[in-house]
Structure 1
Amino acid sequence: MTTTATTPAGARPRAAIAAKTLRTDRWWLAPLLTVSLLVLWVAYATVRAFMQKWYFVSDYHYLTPFYSPCVSKGCTAEAAEFGRFLPDWPIIPFAAVTLPFLLLFRLTCYYYRRAYYRSFWMSPPACAVPDGHRTYSGETRFPLIFQNAHRYFFYAAVLISIINTWDAIRAFHSPQGFGFGLGNLVLLVNVILLWAYTVSCHSCRHIVGGRLKHFSKHPLRYRAWGFVSKLNAKHMQLAWTTLGTLMVTDAYVMAVSANWISDLRFIH
């Protein structure tokens, strides 16, 4: 027995619309901008990761986050505070120990999933715009099932943030002694925002306050959960901001290391 949809008495039949969407605004602008900015950033980061030069300023101990920790045998000895044990091959980045985890942390981030699902995969590109694919299986099949490993990449990101913090602190103590320059400020702002982005992660929010039945019995965790929740509301902004600060920090260290500019020193 088959049933057919009928129009209620007194109601007009639904219009047959051939257009994919009735939206007349520039809904395509947001996904296009997302694609452009992400491609630009990935291209810059890839070139810099494999450039293997202009990553360290020995006079002030500035180390770009794209090369931290510098563990290749090709690293400058002063920059390799955690040892040099990777082979010095052009196809292996100097910071190959951490870069894959940072990439996976960003790639599986809940916000970035939304960003590249909509922009690169058109799934869907915008509200009231049809999906670019006929079928959708969610994140239950290969390779998207690995998105569920985001919480584990979060732990790695915390360790890497600690290393970046050490780099920022270490930069205040150059071979000439304590000093403070514009590069220190750039490194410090970058690491603070990296911590804000990492802590605002949805996985961090669950780790801090998840699986609790009564917040009243865990006041410290409740306060921490409230703090992380406020940051979590800014997760999208922090995701983009930290991409910008990473690029600015690397570009500044590269410019000083290549002697294109001189570091502005406040305390020598």
Structure 2
Amino acid sequence: MTDTQTGVRSPSRARITARTLRQDRWWLPPLTTFVVFASFVVYATVRAFSDTAYYAKPYLSPFYSPCLGDCVEGASDFGQPFSWWPLSAALIILIFPLGFRMTCYYYRKAYYRAFWLSPPACGVAEPHQKYSGESRFPLIVQNAHRYFWYAAIVVGLVLTFDTVLAFRAMPDEYALGDGDSGGGVHMGLGTLLMVVNIVFIWLYTLSCHSCRHAVGGRLRHFSKHPVRYRLWTWVSRLNQHHGRFAWYSLFSVAAVDLYVLLLATHTIDDLRFF
């Protein structure tokens, strides 16, 4: 064994020849993460590039919000400043929520273990010959997570606005019968899904480690900043469940988009409560 070896076979570690001494199904969690996360990536990529079936009044897919490109009528609540954009409208804003999730501390652990096997589990040999951490390109980009968090706050506000608009009652061939002119309040299954989604989005965003630093970092004495201390305490409690909120929000975003897709393609009708 030479000094150039790294991982669990480095000189400072126990000298065993087995790849791992673990007897449990240690490979199951990273395999599950790989299958679920890869499925979402494939689905989201197809939907983002399709540029179709992303709006069914009054529901706008979160993948396309805000819709700033050459969007269908009614989908652009903030105008179309990128109407010249030749590709899908989703690709204009995708970098912000995608960048926030891909640089997230929890997601780093998830896809490092599941996709790069670095390492696949505790006590299992590191398959790579050397590891430079996040000090070199491309992993050094992970340090931009705090700035993506600022963008995620804006995205969360926009999605909240979309959720409020989902309560609008308006003429819609998907949700209302012929001759119904709208008016009043719209409440359907899509509205409920959007409410659940935005709750999970905010729980995921506000439980972020960067949020915890923003509200309570760089303070020498919490006693002199009682408001920030209370906020830091609240965010710290949320932070304990950050990984759970990451998965919940991932599923809820996909669920809302799929529901809008089914409505826009006339596959189903919106289940209206009133």
With structure 2 as the length reference, what TM-score do the two structures score? 0.87
**CA distance in structure 2 between the aligned counterparts of 1:67 and 1:186, rounded to whole angstroms:** 16
**Counterpart mapping for 1:205-244 below 5 A:** 205-244=212-251
Residue 82 of structure 1 is aligned with which of 78, 83, 86?
78
CA contact (8 A) 2:216 2:229 kept: yes
Pair 1:18 & 2:17 matched: yes
Aligned sequence identity (%): 53
Q: Using the TM superposition, give the Cα deviation of residue 64 of structure 1 relative to its aligned residue in structure 2, in angstroms.
A: 0.8
Instruction: Identify the residue that residue 170 of structure 1 maps to in structure 2.
Output: 165
Pair 1:100 & 2:95 matched: yes
**CA distance in structure 2 between the aligned counterparts of 1:130 and 1:17, rounded to whole angstroms:** 10
- What is the CA deviation profile of residues 150-199 of structure 1, one whole-angstrom value per residue up to 9, with x for unaligned ones? 00000000000100000000111132122211111111110111011000
* Contiguous gaps of at least 5 residues in structure 1: 1-14
Q: Using the TM superposition, give the Cα deviation of residue 16 of structure 1 relative to its aligned residue in structure 2, in angstroms.
A: 6.5
With structure 1 as the length reference, what TM-score do the two structures score? 0.89
**CA distance in structure 2 between the aligned counterparts of 1:95 and 1:121, rounded to whole angstroms:** 28
Q: Using the TM superposition, give the Cα deviation of residue 207 of structure 1 relative to its aligned residue in structure 2, in angstroms.
A: 0.3
Residue 137 of structure 1 is aligned with which of 132, 136, 139?
132
Residue 63 of structure 1 is aligned with which of 44, 60, 64?
60
Report the AA paired with residue 62 of structure 1: Y
Q: Using the TM superposition, give the Cα deviation of residue 77 of structure 1 relative to its aligned residue in structure 2, in angstroms.
A: 2.3
Pair 1:183 & 2:190 matched: yes
Moved over 2 A (4+): 15-18, 85-89
CA contact (8 A) 2:203 2:245 kept: yes
Report the AA paired with residue 85 of structure 1: P
Q: How many residues align?
A: 248
**CA distance in structure 2 between the aligned counterparts of 1:174 and 1:81, rounded to whole angstroms:** 16
- What is the CA deviation profile of residues 192-239 of structure 1, one whole-angstrom value per residue up to 9, with x for unaligned ones? 110110001000000001111111111111111111111100000011
Q: Using the TM superposition, give the Cα deviation of residue 93 of structure 1 relative to its aligned residue in structure 2, in angstroms.
A: 2.3
Instruction: Identify the residue that residue 143 of structure 2 maps to in structure 1.
Output: 148
* Contiguous gaps of at least 5 residues in structure 2: 1-13, 171-181
**CA distance in structure 2 between the aligned counterparts of 1:256 and 1:77, rounded to whole angstroms:** 16
CA contact (8 A) 1:111 1:235 kept: yes
Instruction: Identify the residue that residue 204 of structure 2 maps to in structure 1.
Output: 197
**CA distance in structure 1 between the aligned counterparts of 2:73 and 2:79, rounded to whole angstroms:** 9
